[in-house]
Amino acid sequence: MSGLPTHVDIRDVSLRDGLQIEEPIPLSAKLDMLAAIAATGVREMEATAFVSPSKVPALADAAELAAELHNFPDIEFSALVASPNGAKRAIAAGLRSIEYVVSAADGHSRANVGRSTAEATALIPEIVAIAHDSDVTVEVIVATAWDCPFDGPTAPQRVLDVVAAATNDAVDRLAIADTIGTATPRRVTDLITLVRPLIGDTPLGAHFHNTRGAGLASAYAAVGAGVTRLDASVGGLGGCPFAPGASGNIATEDLVYLLRDSGIHTDVDLAAAIDAARVAQHAVGHGLPSALLRAGDRIPG
């Protein structure tokens, strides 16, 4: 861990990854969350996904939500897509930034999108062309980068193959995702160290779940290894709502606390992030796993 950056970009993914497996909530509740999250000062948010409404009913209102985003001109919103058609829908709805997910493990890739990793990778140029034709940026997110729920541990070379293809295809950003929350810091350092030489100046992000308690440790390791962008959700939204306390994404407020005390600036105000976690907890109607939501900052506000 040879030196930490002075700034890390946090992308709040509460409205997409955080809500994806929750029971659907009304658009008005999402807009309440959006306003609270915007008030934290965060500069980037994953707003929704343009995927099959029957597969992800919680995000079936993607176009309606997208129509509200112009009210927050200071935030860069992105949407997740899983196909060229999804990319077209996102752009038609007004998104200026899309995320295309490729699972590095065949098992997860087939279960998720009905395509092998190689087939999903082969779609990157078409998606980049669709996006760049409209001056929209594309991030490729490599899912199941450490472990797959079907295939077990993911061979690093499978991740590197996707990364190399995406870099070659001129994507604007890359991210590595711990989709099922199994990563630990040394494995994170090892993989990021292999990824970095392949990507030139392409900004590199990472996405962790706190499922096995190591989400923040992994995020800190990632930052130490050269990642400058981290996904997080307020309250740690994104766990299974039917397993109380089961952790979802790393909590924005817990991450901001750790980074602040490590001398790493983010644009996110900690007290406002705790407030936003409360709004999210109210919106979904059950407790969230965030630590700061319970314990508060060590420094009185």
- Least separation in angstroms between residue 286's CB and a copy of itself is 12
Rule CB under 8 A: is residue 285 a binding residue for a copy of itself?
Answer: no
Tell me which of 73, 197, 200, 263 binds a copy of itself, using CB under 8 A: 263
CB of 144 to a copy of itself, least distance (A): 12
Catalytic hit among 1, 240, 282, 286: 240
Minimum CB distance to a copy of itself, residue 84 (Å)? 33
Asked whether position 18 contacts a copy of itself by CB under 8 A, the answer is no
**For residue 288, which of 248, 252, 235, 250 has the smallest C-alpha distance?**
235
Q: Is residue 240 annotated as part of the catalytic site, yes or no?
A: yes
The full 3-state SS of 81-104, as one line of letters, equals: ECCHHHHHHHHHCCCCEEEEEEEC
Closest approach of a copy of itself to the CB of residue 85, in Å: 34
- Burial label for 17, CB within 10 Å (0-12, 13-18, 19+), is buried
User: What residue has token string 């290894």?
Assistant: 225
Q: Pinpoint the alpha helices (H) of 56-152.
A: 62-66, 84-92, 106-113, 117-122, 124-133
Give the shortest CB-39-to-a copy of itself separation in angstroms.
22
Ramachandran angles phi, psi of 18, nearest 5°? -65, -35
Rg (CA), the chain: 18
Which residues does residue 247 pair with via DSSP β-bridges, in sequence order? none
Instruction: Compute the C-alpha angle 88/72/290, nearest 5°.
Output: 95
Select the residue interacting with a copy of itself from 165, 171, 257, 284 (CB under 8 A): 257
Would you say 95 or 219 has its CB closer to a copy of itself? 219
Instruction: Kindly state whether residue 295 participates in binding a copy of itself, applying the rule CB under 8 A.
Output: yes
194 part of the interface to a copy of itself, by CB under 8 A: no
260/276 Cα distance (integer angstroms) = 18
Residue 147 in contact with a copy of itself, rule: CB under 8 A:
yes
Strands 147-148 and 152-153: antiparallel
Taking the complex as a whole, how short is the minimal distance between the CB of residue 292 and a copy of itself, in angstroms? 6
Hey, how many other C-beta atoms are within 10 angstroms of the C-beta on 211?
21
Rounded CA gap, 249 and 121, in Å?
25
Stretch that binds a copy of itself, among 50-58, 91-99, 242-250, 273-281 (CB under 8 A): 242-250
56, 95, 238 from 255: Cα distances, Å: 27, 27, 15
Could you tell me how many residues of this chain bind a copy of itself (CB under 8 A)? 42
x/- track of binding to a copy of itself for residues 162-181 (CB under 8 A): ------------------xx
Exactly one of 79, 220, 232, 252 binds a copy of itself (CB under 8 A); that residue is 220
Among 185, 205, 235, 248, binds a copy of itself (CB under 8 A): 185
The conformation of residue 50, written as its DSSP 8-state character, comes to: E
Tell me which of 192, 272, 279, 292 binds a copy of itself, using CB under 8 A.
292
**DSSP reduced 3-state for 20:** coil
Binding site for a copy of itself (CB under 8 A): 1, 4, 147, 152, 180-182, 184-187, 210-214, 216-217, 220-221, 224, 243-247, 251, 254, 257-258, 261-263, 287, 289-292, 294-295, 298-299
Q: Which residues are part of the catalytic machinery?
A: 240
